[in-house]
Structure 1
Amino acid sequence: MRAMTWNVWWRFGGAWREREPALLGVLADARPDVLALVETWRDADGTQADLVADHLGLPSAVFVPTGLPPVPDDPDLAGVEMGIALVSRWAPVATRTVPLPAAQRPGPPAHALHATLDHPAGPLHVVVATLEWEPRYAEDRMAQAWALADLAADAALDGDLPVLVLGDLNARPDGPQLAALTRQLADLWPLGGGDPAAVTLSSVVPEAPLEATELIDQRIDHVLARPGRAGGTLRAGGARLAGTEPVGGRYPSDHFAVVVDVELTS
């Protein structure tokens, strides 16, 4: 099974329509079975996730609004929501939205999306999330990492298949947030043979948020997993980045995507 996560930069930067064909092209080349979208949009006509699902020929798209990052106060963007989404080859039999801790940041909290997919081999649990990124809300980010780890570790999710956590977690490989997450979950990037020097938020991209000094030129987008049962094993391969080149002089997003092939045994 091919898992993929991509922060697709919402409608930031003003040229979102021009970026959309490149986004869809990268996704079509990657051919994910399970795709997490972060900083994705919903407007009065529908969701970006639905457009992606149609383009990829995948039957399921679930969108959840979330408070991260806040929607800009721009009249041209009025009514457009910020969210996370899951596009998948298998339809969900259940979904739930789980608020993440936000004691510091005002406004709507961040959320995680937990979907139980109807995979032929059994229920496949997938969690999509994004965590706080601003240094002034560092306590929130740490609390969110612990909460996300606990959500994925819940014994109610045990079964024959691994539990997946996908998203822009704003967690660098050597940081405390990923350390908290990997107490319960495995980072599939090294397990899948990914380049140790890879970054997903690169200063090469002209639109990259250089002010995010803790996160820039780091691998902060992740595919994590745990075995479906205690003592189980995880196998992954083909870990790689996507969306790393400009198309028509423009990068599809300010983040690169992460792709990992996961063996569905536990």
Structure 2
Amino acid sequence: MTWNLWWRFGPWERRRTAVLHTLRRERPDVLGLQEVWGSAAPGGENMARWLAAELGMHWTWSRSPVQDRWHGRNGGDTSVDVGIAVLSRHPLLETAELRLPAGDFPDDGKTALHALIDTPGGPLPFFTTHLNSGLDESAVRCAQVSALAAFVGERSAGHAHPPVVTGDFNAEPDFDEMRLLCGYKTAPAAPGLVLLDGWRFADPALPQGTWDMAHRDAAGFGSRPSCIDHILVGPPGEGGRGRVRLTRRAADTAVDGVWASDHAAVVTELALPS
């Protein structure tokens, strides 16, 4: 599962409860989260740690190294930072993070987070990220996915389970950056790396937009919500290991009148080895 939690915007205390309610209902085995808030003070409250404790999951967090724009959007409050996180029902064997490039655009401190997860089907190389969001920033997102692809290739080498790459890419499936990262509609960003977008396995009759859920005035591409959140999976391994069984949208309804986030989540089911 992947989900952008809309940081600490809006009625965040009520939204936090709605997020927890949704995750208890969905019960993901592995979860990539974006716009996760954490206290800037050592030992302070962290949304990922709180969710992990409530759900009985393991967790790791990557704090954005640049916080100025986020603090400015939240009234100048510097006590709470933003980052990305991975939660898992299975133990984390190792973790790593990568600083993504900003190119000629303002540096928003984007990172990618890796967790090698000890699943029943063998170690799973899992990644989550959050790319630049500007409508005119496709070029920097292409640079970011090039760095991400090299990171995925390096950290996935030698593992039987295909890599799983999740996140808010701020790009629809046909954007250059997604074609580059997936590597099957153009030359791959990293030699030999091919990732299948889970949305290719979704029921076309079901909704697939993930942004503009709570904010009807959000900028979109046409009259439909933007599909900018993705779960990408490498080709199946031996015995069908990691084969995509289905993909669907989740977290797309209010909980007790509260939208948990301005993004819907994406859920993908993967097969264990036959």
8 Å Cα contact 1:40/1:49 also seen in 2: yes
The percentage of aligned residue pairs carrying the same residue is: 34
Output aligned runs, 1:182-221, within 5 Å. Answer: 182-183=182-183, 184-193=194-203, 195=205, 197-202=207-212, 204-205=213-214, 207=215, 210-211=218-219, 213=221, 217-221=225-229
Alpha-carbon distance in 2 for matches of 1:212, 1:176: 17
Q: 1:21 to 1:155 in 2, by over 3 A?
A: closer
Alpha-carbon distance in 2 for matches of 1:111, 1:213: 26
Report the alpha carbon displacement of residue 159 of structure 1 after superposing the two structures with TM: 1.6
* Match in the other structure for 2:69: 70
* Match in the other structure for 1:42: 38
Q: 1:214 to 1:166 in 2, by over 3 A?
A: farther
Query: Which range moved further: 222-231 or 119-128?
Result: 222-231
Aligned length, in residue pairs: 259
Alpha-carbon distance in 2 for matches of 1:69, 1:166: 25
Letter of the structure 2 residue corresponding to residue 87 of structure 1: L
Letter of the structure 2 residue corresponding to residue 241 of structure 1: R
1:51 match: secondary structure? helix
TM-score, normalised relative to structure 2: 0.84
TM-score, normalised relative to structure 1: 0.86
* Match in the other structure for 2:9: 12
Report the alpha carbon displacement of residue 252 of structure 1 after superposing the two structures with TM: 0.8
| 1:221-243 deviation per Cα after TM superposition (whole angstroms, max 9, x unaligned) | 01111147699775222422111
The structure 1 residue matched to 2:20, chosen from 8, 19, 24, is 24
2:69 match: secondary structure? coil
Output aligned runs, 1:243-262, within 5 Å. Answer: 243-262=251-270
Alpha-carbon distance in 2 for matches of 1:215, 1:32: 31
* Match in the other structure for 2:59: 61
Report the alpha carbon displacement of residue 77 of structure 1 after superposing the two structures with TM: 2.8
Report the alpha carbon displacement of residue 189 of structure 1 after superposing the two structures with TM: 2.3
Alpha-carbon distance in 1 for matches of 2:207, 2:224: 13
Letter of the structure 2 residue corresponding to residue 63 of structure 1: W
Query: Which range moved further: 32-41 or 189-198?
Result: 189-198
CA RMSD of aligned residues (A): 2.8
Alpha-carbon distance in 2 for matches of 1:125, 1:117: 6
Alpha-carbon distance in 2 for matches of 1:35, 1:69: 27
1:179 match: secondary structure? helix
* Match in the other structure for 1:85: 85
Unaligned runs of 5+ in 2: 184-193
Unaligned runs of 5+ in 1: none
Alpha-carbon distance in 2 for matches of 1:12, 1:264: 38
